[in-house]
Amino acid sequence: MKIQIQRTDEAFQMEAQNELGKTILMDSSVKAGGKDSGLRPMELILSGLGGCSTIDILHILKKQRYEVEDIQITVEGQRAEKQIPAVFTKINLHFQVTGKIPPVKVERAINLSLENYCSVSKMLVPNVEITSSFEVI
């Protein structure tokens, strides 16, 4: 796995590109001298955690022959205050799963992902408290 990062303006905007040519824009906040024109690196960590766990959950539920009509995830992170580096101390993932799926199965899939399968969550634990909540619609 390899990512190339290229600065694209005179400030902090960068484009990250993977080996397949897929790209994502990163930037810093206006307050820090950027233009807010892309995701911040710490937001990418939250995105990676949410995406990783969602892929696991969809695989688990599919193997159990449940059809997920839709899934939405809200990932919120709290960072250490007045500390450099301002690392994440707590992250909560809230899953909204649409489909005819017993809540106990959704909860089990979430727990399996975050505790056993999601590489991103495994990298963050034990330094970050990761919690989750969900609802089935």
Residue 88 pLDDT greater than 90, yes or no: yes
Tell me how far apart the alpha carbons of residues 92 and 110 are, in angstroms, rounded to a whole number.
12
* Mean pLDDT across 107-122: 97
Closest CA to 59 of 109, 101, 21, 130: 109
Superfamily in which the 41-136 domain is placed by CATH: K homology (KH) domain (3.30.300.20)
| pLDDT tier, 95 (very low <50, low <70, confident <90, very high otherwise) | very high
Backbone angles phi, psi at 75, to 5 degrees: -115, 120
Q: Find the angle CA(132)-CA(124)-CA(37) to the nearest 5 degrees.
A: 85
User: 62-74 burial string, b = 16+ CB within 10 Å, else e?
Assistant: eeeebebeebebe
pLDDT of residue 126: 87
Q: Minimal CA–CA distance to 4: which of 34, 12, 15, 39? A: 15
Cβ partners under 8 Å of residue 68, min gap 6: 58, 61, 62, 97, 98, 99, 101
pTM above 0.75, yes or no: yes
Residue ranges of domains in the chain = 1-39, 41-136
Beta bridge partners of 127: none
Residue 52's closest CA among 117, 98, 108? 117
- Percent of the chain past pLDDT 90, that is, above it, reads 99
